[in-house]
Amino acid sequence: MSDKFRYQLRQEAQKWQAEGLIDSQIYMEIAQRYQFAELEDNARNRFVMTLLGLGGVLLGLGVITLVAANWQLWSRSLRVIFLVSLFISSNTAGFYLWKSQRQGWQSFLGQTLLLFGALVLGANLGLMSQMFHLSGAVYQLYFVWGLGVLAMAYSLRMTSLGIFTTILLGIGYSLGIPELFRPGELSGLQLVIQQMPLLAVISLVPLAYWCSSRWIFGLGWILAVFSLEVNLVRQIFKFADISTLVVAVTAVMACTLVPALLWVYRGSLWKQNQAFDGIAQGLALAFLSILFYWLSFNFVWGDLETVITQLVWWDLLTFVDASIFAVFTVFAWIRFGKQGESRYWQISLSSTLVAASLIITGVLVWWHFVISEISVVAILGFNLLLFLLGLSLLRNAINLGRRSTFWNGIALLVLQLFTRMLEYNTGLVFKAVVLFICGVAIIIGGVWFERNKKV
Amino acid sequence: MINKSITSRRFFLALVFQLALISSVPAQAIYTRLAGEMIVLQTIPVDPYDFLRGYSQTLRYDISRYETLEKLSGWDTLVQQTDLEKGEGLPTDTRFYVILESPLTAETKSFPPTAWKGVAVSLKLPENLPDNQIALEAKADSGWVSYGIETYYMPEDRREEINTAIANLQSDLPFVVEVKVNPQGHSVPVSLWIQGAEYRF
């Protein structure tokens, strides 16, 4: 019961008593029942709390401003002491507040302080390297920072820290990609960049289950998939002049490995629950959409330009993680068909379609690299695959009554039509007709979906 | 509450781990500052901005140039030892050592200090060097040789002043950097000397 209601009730009750509607006996009973006497106390407490909060914010701002004003004047040791004690105190205070109560404002404040502590960790690392004039690359700083926050996320089983570490590793990886294309010896942190696909899965997927966080799972896999693709594409360019066979195998892997793996990914493979299986399938479909869209362009099928020619031994290490993913994929498909009560290996219609489109993709890419250049066939083929993917999304959306899937399907089809229209030089009238058809199709499709969806 | 104490232990383990990470960043630099010997290097400046760590001055040294090192004794041997495809020069990321010799007047410290001169290069860390020589670890990069002392961070409000001082330099006036080098050849920059004024942050 809200204070506001009780406050209004007290006003009304006083009016009723004044008008003679109720006598003082009944008024006292109502006052007792709704505890009118407490109202003043509550209001005073809230007022005090508000003042405390406001004062706290102003105090905090004052401290920050004071520190900012004197920062340059402080000696190195004073700065180190300040930052390290800020780091320890915000983490410790945050932890005890968060632990004292798993609900309510203390827990929220505790989480905020712990997150702040993670930011202060970064400030500490950055400042340490600055004060000693270290000229290491910035991406290394992000990796070390991410590692620290990862440890805390595991230790406290805290989703916000887990998402934060995923973002840090992502930033570190993105900044470090140029390292992969630099000639020369391999340093420890370069190895981290190169092996990011495996490291991301090993460090972040268990964390996602540990924290029951869909976000960590999704972002972690995106990082793994992205880094795996960077590795494979780099490999294609590296071997372009050396071995057609290696290029073909790598290209087929780059196109099919990720969707094949994510489509059959099941938490039960790690003895975990199935909460995230849907996300993996969604990622597989998103990957296929982007892949088919990309491969349906004309220019993609031009000649490979060699960027790097010098080959070093650690280039072969990238095959290690791709191979591990491949073995895991095969294992997952075998397990996938054996689910349910049937004694035989069997898969559903949609899985069959995904498998078929992956096989077609593999064959087209292989053919193009090994047997003969089939640019025209390949472009037609991938346009057809993209179109069929859009249609099957629509079909699934209607069967399952999922509005978002429906719009994804529509968006894919419209995007394909538009892109082809812009890519190939067509007349204005034709463009007008296409726009007209797209507009009408979207309206009719949308209305029809809302009327006909089965759930 | 057993569960709670386990959580506390886990928390403090993670906190200690993070503290270890923080202190691991400057560990070698602190060691070098404590155990190292001071040398002086002649510079050539360049100037970008590193947004995570604030303003910095990017430094290049006389010995960062391949042209300087190619004249030193031992260069031809070094190239022969490392250059696998003949004629390519030193492969990128090759680690080697540059031996520097203190100027003859080093007995009496001059202000501003005089830069040390390179005398030789070697693939291995040289042992039993004379007292007036020291070995500095170097890494071959594309275009430059780097020593891990190429960045000097400075407060934003002093940066203008220092840049003006550098810009006003006549080419023959010394702009040198004092660097500490530890017995393994690792180095940290300590201070800048521009036109007789010392800048140390």
ipTM of the complex: 0.75
Within 8 A by CB and 6+ apart from B93, the residues are: A183, A184, A185, B139, B140, B141
Which residue type sits at A268?
S
pLDDT value for A270? 80
Distance, in Å, from the CA atom of A321 to the CA atom of A328, rounded to the nearest integer, reads 11
Q: Is B7 on the interface with A (CB under 8 A)?
A: yes
Residue A360: per-residue pLDDT: 93
Residue A75: closest C-alpha in chain B:
B201
Q: How far is CA A4 from its chain centroid?
A: 42
Q: Could you say which residues from 109 to 138 on chain B have a Cβ atom under 8 Å away from some Cβ of chain A?
A: none
Three-state SS annotation for A161-189: HHHHHHHHHHHHHHHHHHHHCCCCCCCHH
Residue B49 has pLDDT above 60, yes or no: no
Cα B91 from Cα B89, distance rounded (Å): 6
Determine contact, residues B103/B114, Cβ cutoff 8 Å.
yes
Give the range with max mean pLDDT: A138-152, A399-413, B121-135, B184-198. A138-152
Report the pLDDT value the prediction gives residue B48, as an integer from 0 to 100: 47
Measured in angstroms, the CA of B132 and the nearest CA of chain A are apart by: 26
- Measure CA A309 to chain center: 34
Please classify residue A151 by burial: count the beta carbons closer than 10 Å to its beta carbon, then call 0-12 exposed, 13-18 middle and 19+ buried: buried
* C-alpha to C-alpha distance for A150 and B23, rounded to whole angstroms: 18
Considering CB atoms only, which of A131, A136, A152 is closest to B18?
Answer: A152
Q: Given CB atoms, is A271 within the 8 Å cutoff of chain B? A: no
Q: B167-179 burial by CB neighbour count: b if 16+ within 10 A, else e? A: eeeeeeebbbbbb
Q: Quick one: CA torsion of B11, B15, B21, B26, rounded to 10 degrees?
A: -170
- Average per-residue pLDDT for chain B: 79
Over residues B154-178, the pLDDT tens digits come to: 777 777 777 777 767 655 556 788 8
Comparing CA positions, the residue from B39, B37, B38, B59 lying closest to residue B48 is B59
Q: Which two tokens stand for residue A361?
A: 């993709």
Pairing between strand B175-181 and B151-153? unpaired
The answer to whether the Cβ–Cβ distance between B53 and A129 falls below 8 Å is yes
Question: Residues 58 to 97 of A: which have CB under 8 A from any B CB?
Answer: 72, 84, 87-88, 91-92, 95
CB contact under 8 A, A156 and B7: yes
- B49 in contact with chain A, both atoms CB, cutoff 8 A: no
CB-based burial, A376-396: b 16+ in 10 Å, e otherwise: eebbebbbebbbebbebbbeb
The C-alpha atoms of residue A171 and residue A27 are separated, in whole angstroms, by 65
Task: Decide: B124 and B98 in contact? Cβ < 8 Å.
Answer: no
Q: Which chain A residues are within 8 Å of B11, Cβ to Cβ?
A: 95, 152, 155-156
Q: Show which of residues 103-142 on chain A sit within 8 Å of chain B, judged by CB atoms.
A: 121, 124-136, 138, 141
Assign residue A268 a region (left: φ > 0; alpha: ψ between -120 and 50; beta: otherwise): alpha
This prediction has a pTM of: 0.78
**CB of B45 within 8 Å of any CB in chain A?**
no
Q: What is the pLDDT of residue B170?
A: 59
- Nearest CA to A235 out of A294, A329, A314 is that of A314
Residue B2 has pLDDT above 50, yes or no: no
- Residue B4: pLDDT over 80: no
pLDDT at A369: 84
Among B22-31, B48-57, B189-198, top mean pLDDT goes to B22-31
Question: What is the rounded average pLDDT of the residues B61-70?
Answer: 86
Cβ within 8 Å, pair A155-B155:
no
List chain A residues with CB under 8 Å of B153: 130-131, 133
Secondary-structure breakdown of chain A: helix, strand, coil percentages, each rounded to the nearest 5: 80, 0, 20
Contact A148 B153 (CB under 8 A): no
Contacts of A410 (CB under 8 A, 6+ apart): A390, A394, A441, A442, A445, A446
Residue A102 sits at the chain B interface (C-beta within 8 Å): no
Torsion angle defined by CA atoms of residues A137, A142, A143 and A144, in that order, rounded to the nearest 10 degrees: 100
Interface test with B, best of A115, A132, A190 (most B CBs within 10 A): A132
Full DSSP string of A353-409: HHHHHHHHHHHHHHIIIII---HHHHHHHHHHHHHHHHHHHHHHHHHHT-HHHHHHH
With a cut of 60, say whether residue B3 has pLDDT above it: no
Best of B1, B22, B92, B187 to substitute, by most chain A Cβ atoms within 10 angstroms, is B22
CB contact under 8 A, A72 and B53: no
Question: Which residues from chain A sit within 8 angstroms of residue B13, using beta carbons?
Answer: 155
| Whole-number average pLDDT of chain A | 85
- Give dist(CA A140, CA A142) in Å, integer: 5
How big is the A-B interface in CB pairs under 8 Å? 105
**The one-letter amino acid at B48:** P
Strands (E), A79-147: none
What are the structure tokens assigned to B155, written together?
């407060």
Interchain contact, B7 vs A99, CB within 8 Å? yes
What per-residue confidence (pLDDT) applies to B86? 58
Residue A327, pLDDT score:
94
Q: In what side-by-side order are the strands of the sheet with B117-122?
A: B117-122, B95-101, B133-140, B145-146
B53, A184: Cβ pair inside 8 Å?
no
| Shortest CA gap A111–chain B (Å) | 13
Read off the tokens for A407. 């719009």
- Give the gap in angstroms from C-alpha A195 to the nearest C-alpha of chain B: 20
Residues of chain A with pLDDT under 50: none
